[in-house]
Amino acid sequence: MGDATKLGLHARYGGYALVTGAARGIGRAFAKYLAADGFDLLLVDREAAETRALAEELHAKHGIDARPIICDLTDPDLATKAQDWAESYEVGLLVNNAGIGQLDPFFDIPLDAHVATLDLNCRATLILTHVVGKAMASRGRGGIIIVSSASGLSGSPYFCHYAATKGYGLNLAVGLWSELRESGVDALALCPGMTDTKPVQDQGLGENLPFFIGLTGPEPVALGALRALGKQPVLVPTLADRMSSGFLSKLLPRGWTLSLMKQSIEKMRR
């Protein structure tokens, strides 16, 4: 975390950083880097004990105001809650990190699980980006990071709906990057590949990976995004991810790419 103090993002955007899915994985890494950079934090997650413990840890270590907000972002009343957060706190940086996905054949996943994925990965991202981002635009400064996925660049068998929802976040972020240029509000789509987080561990996805897919820790993913914000519209954060996404999306026809991905995922699922 030694390089975090050199980011200068709090000096650029000010206020609080709102991080969703903050208790674990990439969201937790974002929270730690942002606390070290001087941000006060709004830590949004449904995991109450872990979120509160993280808030206490970051307050004790950095002396910042770290507020745990225990919330299920699929709540139908999310827009009202988001408006309250935007009015109660000056949010200078928004990290839309929370997301869910399931590795299974499309029709084996219940429809209500697909709808929950849509609600969290797309609806919640839309609401928070619109409500919090609008307040940033009115002040003339702010930063928005939307955590997409390398699968959102190409689509993926057995991750069909997850990849589709991540494509939504990708396209929302890059459109905003262009639309908001010169406004003082920066936007970035972050597209990590396979990252060593609890959902990946729980589903055993880090095992038997093909040669072109590397398993990355959450820290370089978060730090890479914070360094890239304001400089480019999309970040594929690590060399392994860039090699993998380039190999699959640029060197091979789409049909070959999907066939190769299907074979690889089937081996992972055995």
Average pLDDT over residues 150-159: 83
Return the pLDDT at 113: 97
123-153, pLDDT tens digit by residue?
A: 999 999 999 999 999 999 999 999 999 888 8
Q: The tokens of 177 are what?
A: 């990057």
Q: Which residues are marked as active site?
A: 162, 166
Instruction: Give the residue-averaged pLDDT of 225-234.
Output: 97
Average pLDDT in the 242-259 region?
A: 56
Chain segment 90-112, per-residue pLDDT in tens: 999 999 999 998 889 999 999 99
> What is the side-by-side order of every strand in the sheet holding 185-190?
66-70, 40-45, 16-20, 91-96, 142-147, 185-190, 234-235
- Is 142 within 8 Å of 13 (Cβ atoms)? yes
163-203 pLDDT per residue, tens: 999 999 999 999 999 999 999 999 999 999 765 555 544 55
| Tally of structural domains, the chain | 1
By the 8 A CB rule, do 97 and 129 touch?
Answer: no
Q: Sign of the CA dihedral 161, 164, 170, 176?
A: negative
| Helix/strand number for the chain, H first, E second | 12, 7
Distance, in Å, from the CA atom of 104 to the CA atom of 114, rounded to the nearest integer, reads 11
Closest by CA to 93, choosing from 128, 60, 69, is 128
Its domain, for residue 135, covers 2-269
**What CATH number is given to the structural domain containing 193?**
3.40.50.720
Instruction: Give residue 49's pLDDT band: very low, low, confident or very high (50, 70, 90).
Output: very high
Percent residues over pLDDT 70 in the chain:
77
User: Is the pLDDT assigned to residue 207 strictly greater than 80?
Assistant: no
